[in-house]
Amino acid sequence: MKKPEHLLAPALLGIGVLAFLAAWAHRLAIGAAPSAGIALLLALSGFLLALYAAPRAGLWGTLALVAAGAGLASVWNANLALFTVLSGLLLYLGLRRRLPEPAQAAFWGWAFVWPSLALVLVWHVFPSLYAFYISLFDRVSFIAKSRFVGLLNYQILFHDPLFWRALSNTFWYVVFTVPTGIVLGTLVAILLNERVRFLGLFRTLYFLPYITALTAAAAVWMWIYHPEFGFLNWLLGTPGFDWLHTPDGVFGLLLRPLGVELKGFLAGPSVAFVAIMAMSVWHLLGYNVVILLAGLQSIPRQYYEAAMIDGATWWQLQRYITWPLLSPTTFFLAIIGLIGAFQVFTQVYVMTPTGGVLNDTLTVTMYLYNKGFRDSDFSYASAIAVVVFFVILALTLLQKRVLERRVTYGE
Amino acid sequence: MASRLRYLLGRVLIYAVLTAGAVGMAFPFYWMLATSVKSPQEAQQAVPVWVPERMKPKNWQAAARLGAEGGSRLFGGFFPGRTVRFLIRTEGESPPPRARVPKPPGAFHDPLSEGTRIEVRRVPGGWRFSFTNATDRRFRLLPVVIYLPKSYGAFSPELAPDAIRSAGDYWRLEWVNLSPGLFGYVFHNYREAWNAAPFARYFYVSFVTAGTQVLLGLFLAAMAGFAFARIPFPGRELVFLLFLATMMVPGEVLLIPNYILLAKLGWLDTFYALIVPWLASVFGIFLLRQFYRSLPQDLFDAARIDGASYLVMLFRIALPLAVPGLITYGIFSFLGAYNALLWPLIVTQSPEMRTVQVGLQAFIGEAGSDYGQLMAASTMAILPIVLGYFLAQRQFIEGIARSGIK
């Protein structure tokens, strides 16, 4: 980029978009930053840029200058900042014959990226920071001005038994569903990869639950779990057993005959929650199978043929060839599964709308939903969200440390 | 010989395990479909009913004939002046049965019973009931209750009743619709569910939301992905890093701030709230970037030498070659948008803005114990996606598989 004027057009684009966002931030009174001043400054610098460039771009340059001038009016109407963006476009049209290759690339690159970038800034980047910001206030609401309280919400959160309950429930959910899904998925994928007939039919049957909406699937499983007329109770010969309203922990139930009494966290997830987990594994299995099958098919056949000539048994083939060469895929599924499982909401909300008996199926996302949208305590809910972010981050990093050492990246 | 036997045994084992698993995976679907054509009494049996009455061809014939008499052969109905004749075969002699058209519970009901003339006549081998619509109005359903003395040795109605209950010395036989027509009979629960809640509106909202999200999202991701893959512009690495970073933030964190933002914009309970926040998908941009990078660079160099601008390169060369990638992302974002519950639940309040999933979730609470209707509603909710899957099976599977390759 030899001459600075080659960057004028893309710079105007960026300045225009940012001025637009700043002007809107001012209009909506979001945050404490002096967004009106920033917007004015941006629009002004856009105008000066256009003034500098206009003589070089002929008629288009004049139009660009007019547009940049109109962009200054964004002080009165936020939408007018878009004129600064327009001025960038006009300037490029004026200069394009004389612009060298890198300058053209700069303009088009930014022009293609800005629409997405602006949306990502508004709906992803800004909210991530804003969540932390409002968690520092006392009950942010639309009506009253709220007080800055620092980390008080976090302090309350760490002494909130319901939050710990939700966190431990979610922990059990992750621990139960992610490995089960991967192990079952690997088994099915390995069997499907044995050149079976009706591969398409089998794959469809295993895959269909994944594309089924969770709401509908949860309704079906509620019906299967129904205490009086449910199919499961008929199958197991346990008439009247209310799967979704049994808060006893499964470890506690299993060990009770042995005379061991487990309480609290150690009693494990409740029967109701395990029922929901079973449904979730059913739902997710197809995804794992398809991904693992693709992973299996990318393992070269020669490895197996060579090992078979050496007299390896079927089990040895799976253990020493399939498992290590499949490990990148398994690792990917573990990470994706963890992040997804930690945010479980839909099936829990549909099957146990109140969080179950004694909050035995309350998950973190559901607690966040309850706090934010039932109790309208946005600040507290944001504190939950921030903690969830760090927990997921920590778990992902931990998983990377622990598991990635065992991952074999082939070739 | 021994190895051949072991091979065969292994094959049998593979198929046994796979089949058992597949049956387990498919069973909930079968159970949903079976229940969706059951009457409440059939659904609420202690021993499961494997083949519901509404799936039996014998009943289809009777339903079509009764429907033709009342209104239409396929959709039934009870039209003005029409007479529906219905036969119950009985054995032995006993007091005559009684028939009536029940009033549905609740304050508002079809004023059906006042206008229906009922005749009960003895015919050889049984009793014939005639229901005549003496009003000048058209009714959707003809609900009928017949009391049959228990003293008859055996009886067989032309159309299997939806419920049989004991009432003193009588059997109380109930039909929710004695003039159903073929489809009206088999899909009774579907029709009732469709009428019980504004599902047409739910589907409209869902399709507009998911469709817009897919189209605009594709457009945005196709442009940004191309820039990241093929245009060397200053600041590219920085922006890319920013995008990468946003992938680390779980969607949960965004719920509250985005809700507040929408509230300030006055967009709550509008299509904007459903669509705009999720338009730019970092996942989609990455996916398409990978796709463009797999295309040979020579192609783009050649185009550049021929004087094609980046705009032309994107729309004339890159996009047509990236169609599989576009389909992958399109399927993903449609699935995500159509199946989502949490976000639409948060940002919509009025029934007019409910998506299918939110509507279904509300319906689960309202349907009460009518599991037939609930399962019919669930079937309708997943039908578009399942149909789409069967139409584009390969794209679905390959698309999902591709998403896993990093």
A188 touches chain B (CB under 8 A): yes
Within 277-316 of A, beta carbons closer than 8 Å to B belong to 282, 285-287, 290-291, 293-295, 314
Task: Please give the torsion angle defined by the CA atoms of residues A176, A178, A183 and A185, in that order, rounded to the nearest 10 degrees.
Answer: 130
pLDDT(B143) > 50: yes
**Is residue A215 predicted with pLDDT exceeding 50?**
yes
Q: B258 CB near a chain A CB, below 8 Å?
A: yes
The pLDDT of residue B406 is 47
B6 and chain A in contact, CB less than 8 A: no
Q: Considering only CB atoms, which chain B residues are within 8 Å of A106?
A: 233-234
Percent of chain B with pLDDT over 90: 71
Given the candidates 3.90.79.10, 3.40.800.20, 1.10.3720.10, 3.40.1160.10, the CATH classification of the domain at B199-403 is 1.10.3720.10
A183 to chain B, any CB pair closer than 8 A? The answer is: no
pLDDT on residue B111? 62
> What percent of chain B is modeled with pLDDT above 70?
97
pLDDT of amino acid A31: 60
* Average model confidence (pLDDT) across chain A: 90
Q: From chain A, pick out residues whose CB is under 8 angstroms from the CB of B404.
A: 290-291, 294-295, 329, 332-333
Hey, are the CB atoms on B341 and A214 less than 8 Å from each other?
yes
pLDDT band for B398, please (50, 70, 90 cuts): confident
Q: Using one digit for the tens of pLDDT, what is the confidence trace for B214-243? A: 999 999 999 999 999 999 999 999 999 999
Task: Give A157-404's CATH code, choosing from 3.30.420.40, 1.10.3720.10, 3.40.50.300, 2.60.120.260.
Answer: 1.10.3720.10
Check pLDDT > 90 for residue B339: yes
Residue for token pair 């299967």? A224
Assembly ipTM? 0.92
- Mean pLDDT, range B324-347, rounded to an integer: 93
Cβ <8 Å between B280 and A124: yes
* pLDDT score recorded for residue B180: 93
Query: How far apart are the C-alpha atoms of B11 and B196, rounded to whole Å?
Result: 50
By CB neighbour count within 10 A (0-12 exposed, 13-18 middle, 19+ buried), where does B130 fall? middle
For chain A, domain boundaries: 4-117, 157-404
Closest Cα in chain B to A337 = B404
**B1 at interface of A, judged by CB pairs closer than 8 A:** no
Contacts of A191 in chain B (CB under 8 A): 14, 17-18
Whether the pLDDT of residue B346 is over 80: the answer is: yes
At residue B140 the predicted structure's pLDDT band, cuts being 50, 70 and 90, is: confident
Note whether A34 contacts B: Cβ–Cβ < 8 A: no
A contact residues 37-76, partner B, Cβ 8 Å cutoff: none
Q: Do B234 and A1 touch (CB under 8 A)?
A: yes
Q: pLDDT at residue B381 above 90?
A: yes
Asked whether the beta carbons of B340 and B355 are under 8 A apart, the reply is yes
Q: What is the average pLDDT across A262-267?
A: 85
pLDDT digits (tens, 9 = 90+) for A42-88: 888 888 888 888 888 788 888 888 888 888 888 788 888 898 989 88
- Residue A36: pLDDT band with limits 50, 70, 90: confident
Cβ of A206 within 8 Å of Cβ of B360? The answer is no
Residues 391-410 of A with CB under 8 A from B: 392-393
Rounded mean pLDDT, A258-271: 87
DSSP A198-209: THHHHHHHHHHH
Cβ–Cβ of B220/A29 closer than 8 Å? no
> What pLDDT is stored for residue A141 in this prediction?
77
A-contacting residues in B 318-357 (Cβ below 8 Å): 335, 338-339, 341-342, 346, 356-357
Average pLDDT in the A210-231 region?
95
Contact: B401, A203; criterion CB under 8 Å: no
Q: How far is A258 from chain B (nearest CA, A)?
A: 32
Under 8 Å CB-to-CB from A158, ≥6 apart: which residues?
none
Chain A residues near residue B386 by CB distance under 8 angstroms: 208, 211-212
Q: Which residues in chain A touch residue B42, judged by CB atoms under 8 angstroms apart?
A: none
Residue B328 has pLDDT above 60, yes or no: yes
Contacts of A123 in chain B (CB under 8 A): 254, 258, 261, 276-280
Give tens-digit pLDDT for A323-375.
999 998 999 999 999 999 999 999 999 999 999 888 999 999 999 999 999 99
Q: B152 CA to chain A: closest CA distance, Å?
A: 31
- Which of A232, A271, A278, A229 lies closest to A253, judged by CA? A271
Q: Under the phi-then-psi rule, with left for phi > 0, alpha for psi from -120 to 50, and beta for the rest, what region is A29?
A: left
Tell me whether residue B107 is exposed, middle or buried, using C-beta atoms within 10 angstroms of its C-beta: 0 to 12, 13 to 18, 19 or more: exposed
- DSSP H helical segments within A121-230, as ranges? 126-134, 152-158, 161-192, 199-211, 214-224
Q: Which residues of A touch B265 (CB under 8 A)?
A: 28
Distances (CA, A) of B39 to B27, B33, B100, B157, B177: 20, 13, 20, 16, 11
pLDDT value, residue B404: 64
On whether any CB of chain A is under 8 Å from the CB of B297, the answer is: no
**Domains in chain B: boundaries:** 2-36, 53-184, 199-403
Cα B25–chain centre separation: 18
- A278-297 tens-digit pLDDT: 999 999 999 999 999 999 99
Instruction: Assess A142–B contact: CB distance below 8 Å, yes or no.
Output: yes
Q: Identify whether the C-beta of residue B92 lies closer than 8 Å to the C-beta of residue B153.
A: yes
- CB–CB contact B280 A128 (8 Å): no
Residue of A134, A332, A393 with shortest CB distance to B248:
A393
Confidence at residue B213, expressed as pLDDT on a 0 to 100 scale: 96
- pLDDT over 90 percentage in chain A: 58
| Binary contact (A113, B249; C-beta < 8 A) | no
Amino acid at A228: E
Instruction: Please report residues of A whose CB lies closer than 8 A to that of B397.
Output: 203, 207, 290
**pLDDT tens digits along B81-122:** 999 999 999 988 888 999 988 876 655 555 666 788 999 999
pLDDT digits (tens, 9 = 90+) for B255-305: 999 999 999 999 999 999 999 999 999 999 999 998 899 888 888 888 888
Query: Each residue of B145-204: pLDDT tens digit?
Result: 999 999 887 899 999 999 999 999 999 999 999 999 999 999 999 999 999 999 999 999
DSSP per position, B289-331: HHHHHTS-HHHHHHHHHTT--HHHIIIIIIHHHTHHHHHHHHH
- Please report the DSSP string for A169-184 in residue order: HHHHHHHHHHHHHHHH
- List of chain A residues whose C-beta atoms are within 8 Å of the C-beta of residue B259: 372-373, 378
Residues on chain A touching B21 (C-beta within 8 angstroms)? 188, 206
Compute the average pLDDT of residues A95-108. Answer: 87
- pLDDT averaged over chain B? 91
- Which pLDDT score, from 0 to 100, does residue A410 have? 54
Q: Please name the residue that has the structure tokens 């796979």.
A: B18
Radius of gyration, alpha carbons of chain A: 29
Q: Is B305 on the interface with A (CB under 8 A)?
A: no
Q: How many CB pairs under 8 A join A and B?
A: 298
Interface contact A349-B341, CB threshold 8 A: yes
Task: Determine contact: A339 vs chain B, CB below 8 A.
Answer: yes
d(CA A227, CA B264): 45
For the segment B327-344, the average pLDDT, to the nearest whole number, is 93
Chain B closest CA to A250's CA: distance in Å? 23
Tokens of A402: 């622990």
